Amino acid sequence: MKTIVHKRYQYYLMVLFMLFAFHPYLHSQAISGAAVQANFGIDADVYANKEQFLVPPTVSGIYDDWFFNSAFANGTGQNVIDQTNAAGLKTSIQANNNFTFEKRMSKPKNTMVGNFLWIDAVYGRDGNSTQSNSDSNTFSGNSNKNGDNPTTWALGSGSIPQKDDIVDVYGYLRRDLSPAALAVNPNGILWGYGGASKISSDGNSHFDFEFFRTEVSFNGSALVGTGSQAGHTAWTFDATGKILVPGDVLVAIDFENGGTKPLGSVRVWMSSADIANFNSRPDRPFDLTGVFDQGNGAPPYGYAEIKAKGGGILTNVFAVVNVTAATLGPPWGTLEGSQASFQDNYKALQFTEFGINLTALGLDSRNVNQGPCSNLLGSLIVKTRSSSSFTAELKDFSGPYLFGNITDVAVEGNVSNPLTCNNPTATLTATPTPPNATIKWYGPSPDGIADGPFIPGNAPVVSVKGVYTVYAYTNLEGCFAKKTVTVLENKELPNVNAGEDKALTCLITSIKLSGSSSTPNATYLWSTLDGNIVSDGTTLTPTIDKAGTYTLTVTDPINGCKKADDVVVTSTPPTPIDITCPEDNIKSSCFYADQAAVDAAFDTFKQSFTASGGNGTLTITGLENLTPPALCGGTVTVNYNVTDSCGLQKSCSATFTITAPSAVTAEAPEAVNASACAYADQAALDAAFETFKAGFKVSGGCDAKGEIQGTP
């Protein structure tokens, strides 16, 4: 018995010696268990509205979680992981128990839901190495440890113990912007949540949730892009402890003794040169616990354990395992046991969940040189260790998953069309990245540089040319992108000339108008309210036949602009015919010396008929084939008629008359028989004879004269 006792004490002493000797490697801190933080259940079940392993369990109907199932628990709490195609995924898993896939957040990145900013979330189904399966993401060597430079890790396909074989992994970032959170920190409180399950449900969990600041990828044998400071991004600080560059973060969650004792350790990758006097720097974001692990290829860098500045992590890190009962698994089911059997539920002790107040631990930081759109984190890798020792052998890993990597907001602006006469308005549209970014339009700019007035709507319709600016905002304060677009205007009027005014007459009863335009490929349209277009109304030279105002409208086919010009067509009244007719000519034949004089007088008479005015050619009748009257008397009537080309007519008549003289009549005195005695002398006789001769008279004729022949 003594010997046995002695050996037993030797054993205990050896264990105690190892615990003290390797204290830095075994160090971890007590953390809190199940809780609801920032309206998210950290309670080892994965469904909203029910907190199965909270103490006491509740059916709140209000808290968010990874998934939603109204049959499990209904309420206003929402799922953070996208559940679409759950039935199809379930079928694929049941057909192939080594089927892997990834799901993202159920809402676009950085979506405000109530008082909470949903930043990013990811779910991953990892491969397994049960039966003949090969897990493509494993630590394939025997010297892979936390604290190593990741480029030294031996990675690839392989087989790992079931107790270390990952099935499901979860990650989620949320910022609490409730009034209570804003009262604590003006930027709110940043929470990180994680969860994982293994093939084995033994209750012993040794998970590392490692957050890289870069976008890491896995090429089948190595991690690519992990960082330039010994395979990481190192935290760097100024002399006061103020963060210059935030680096990688590792959250180690360990459950032993059937999952009843949660232990946690939060670590940051930093240089050993920054450790000295760190806790005395006034602007430090956190305190160091004194534990610092660096491994293969890492010096001078390593993982330093931290706690809240001036405190611990007990009230800032929460973790829990579904110890007492099974709980409903993902909507597509899960796997468990040596056969990787399909299960709807997580068996008791199979699922581990944690939440961490990143703001309280000083991890809510960006590079001082980065803008508000820069990455909050970058990538997530979930690993398992063989034991609770931080430097125990790494076994399995899932990922890397892009996580908390913010795609810088971008926006492209578009203008539907230039402003034209056909399209006097244009629609402004924007294509933002991410698609859920808030869009705001301003414009037009007063000077081409400054923003114009705010325009409501995501796709405003504008009618003024100029420079417009579109902004795309994310829910990250100060994170936005802008782009300018130019709304062009083409409202130049076409050239048009309807031509010179024209006139219709009785001779010109229709005419072609003579419009013109220098606008290429223009279209033409003539119109009138009081005229009449006979033909060719869509050409530059239509035919019209009525007086009026004619409008030529020219349309530019490019911009639809129209311009009109008028031409006036008048109707000129016909010119009247003026005629001159002589007075009737009535003369005795005695007026004329002879017939030749009559003929000459008659010609002169005809020439006294004249015509003027009228329209076109005057046609005169009535003067032809006329014979002068005879000297001895006669009458000729001239019927003078004038007609013009328009059909106007005017006439008159006059007569040329020669009247015959009366007949010649001789009158003799009575005979005188007187005695010679009757006369005193010869002179008296001569006187009496003269008196007798004076009694002879002639009348009629043309100035008839008598001649007395004989002597007394």
Alpha-carbon gap, residue 325 to 299, rounded angstroms: 45
Among residues 422, 424, 408, 312, the alpha carbon closest in space to that of 360 is found at: 312
Q: Is the pLDDT of residue 404 over 90?
A: no
Among residues 324, 378, 311, 364, the alpha carbon closest in space to that of 188 is found at: 364
The whole-angstrom distance between residue 668's C-alpha and the CA centroid of its chain comes to: 134
Alpha-carbon gap, residue 531 to 498, rounded angstroms: 15
Q: Say if CB 672 and CB 645 are below 8 A apart.
A: no
pLDDT digits (tens, 9 = 90+) for 352-364: 999 999 999 888 8
pLDDT digits (tens, 9 = 90+) for 209-232: 999 988 999 999 999 999 999 999
pLDDT recorded at residue 16: 33
661 band by pLDDT with thresholds 50, 70 and 90: confident
710 band by pLDDT with thresholds 50, 70 and 90: low
pTM for the full model? Answer: 0.61
Q: Say if CB 209 and CB 380 are below 8 A apart.
A: yes
Q: Is the pLDDT of residue 656 over 70?
A: yes
Q: Is the pLDDT of residue 177 over 80?
A: yes
Query: What average pLDDT does the segment 373-377 reach?
Result: 62
pLDDT recorded at residue 228: 94
Q: What is the CATH number of domain 577-659?
A: 2.60.40.10
604 phi/psi in degrees, rounded to 5: -65, -40
Lowest mean pLDDT among 22-31, 324-333, 454-463, 661-670: 22-31
Q: Say if CB 176 and CB 187 are below 8 A apart.
A: no
Half-sphere exposure of 219 (CA within 13 A, CB side): 7
Antiparallel, parallel or unpaired: β 116-125 and 101-104: antiparallel
551 band by pLDDT with thresholds 50, 70 and 90: very high
Q: Is the pLDDT of residue 703 over 50?
A: yes
Lowest mean pLDDT among 24-33, 472-481, 649-658, 696-705: 24-33
pLDDT digits (tens, 9 = 90+) for 505-516: 999 999 999 999
pLDDT digits (tens, 9 = 90+) for 100-133: 999 999 998 888 899 999 989 999 999 999 988 9
Q: Is the pLDDT of residue 564 over 60?
A: yes
**Mean pLDDT rounded to a whole number for the chain:** 88
Q: Is the pLDDT of residue 366 over 70?
A: no
pLDDT recorded at residue 466: 95
Alpha-carbon gap, residue 25 to 299, rounded angstroms: 16
Between these two residues, 691 and 530, which has the higher pLDDT value? 530
Q: Say if CB 220 and CB 136 are below 8 A apart.
A: yes
Among residues 192, 135, 140, 139, the alpha carbon closest in space to that of 335 is found at: 135
Q: Please count the other Cβ atoms lying within 10 Å of the Cβ belonging to residue 157.
A: 15
Element containing residue 691 per DSSP (H, E)? helix 682-694
Q: What percent of the chain is predicted at pLDDT more than 90?
A: 68
Alpha-carbon gap, residue 695 to 688, rounded angstroms: 11
What tokens does 531 get?
């005229």
Query: What average pLDDT does the segment 35-57 reach?
Result: 92
Q: What percent of the chain is predicted at pLDDT more than 70?
A: 91
Query: What average pLDDT does the segment 71-81 reach?
Result: 93
Instruction: Tell whether the torsion through CA atoms of 383, 386, 392 and 394 is positive or negative.
Output: negative
pLDDT digits (tens, 9 = 90+) for 308-344: 988 766 678 898 899 889 999 999 999 999 999 999 9
pLDDT recorded at residue 463: 96
Does domain 502-571 fall under CATH 2.60.40? My reply is yes
What tokens does 276 get?
């000295």
Which residue has tokens 């043309």? Answer: 702
Q: Say if CB 203 and CB 258 are below 8 A apart.
A: yes
What stretch(es) of the chain map to CATH 2.60.40.10?
577-659
Q: Is the pLDDT of residue 387 over 80?
A: yes
434 band by pLDDT with thresholds 50, 70 and 90: confident
User: Who contacts 109 (Cβ-Cβ below 8 Å, separation ≥6)?
Assistant: 118, 119, 120, 406, 407, 434, 436, 474
pLDDT recorded at residue 372: 55
Alpha-carbon gap, residue 539 to 211, rounded angstroms: 77
Beta strand residue intervals within 111-165, DSSP E: 111-113, 116-125, 135-139, 155-158
DSSP code of residue 69:
B
Instruction: Give the alpha-carbon dihedral of 675, 676, 677, 680, to 10 degrees.
Output: 140
Q: Is the pLDDT of residue 475 over 90?
A: no
Query: What average pLDDT does the segment 158-163 reach?
Result: 91
Between these two residues, 526 and 20, which has the higher pLDDT value? 526
Q: How far apart are the first and last CA of the chain?
A: 236
pLDDT digits (tens, 9 = 90+) for 518-549: 999 999 999 999 999 999 999 999 999 999 99
DSSP string, 218-260: E-SSSEE---SSSSSPPBEE-TT--EEE---EEEEEEEETTTT
260 band by pLDDT with thresholds 50, 70 and 90: low
pLDDT recorded at residue 142: 72
Does domain 410-487 fall under CATH 2.60.40? My reply is yes
Which residue has tokens 């007519």? Answer: 649
Instruction: Give the alpha-carbon dihedral of 66, 359, 54, 381, to 10 degrees.
Output: 50
Q: Say if CB 609 and CB 568 are below 8 A apart.
A: no
pLDDT recorded at residue 581: 94
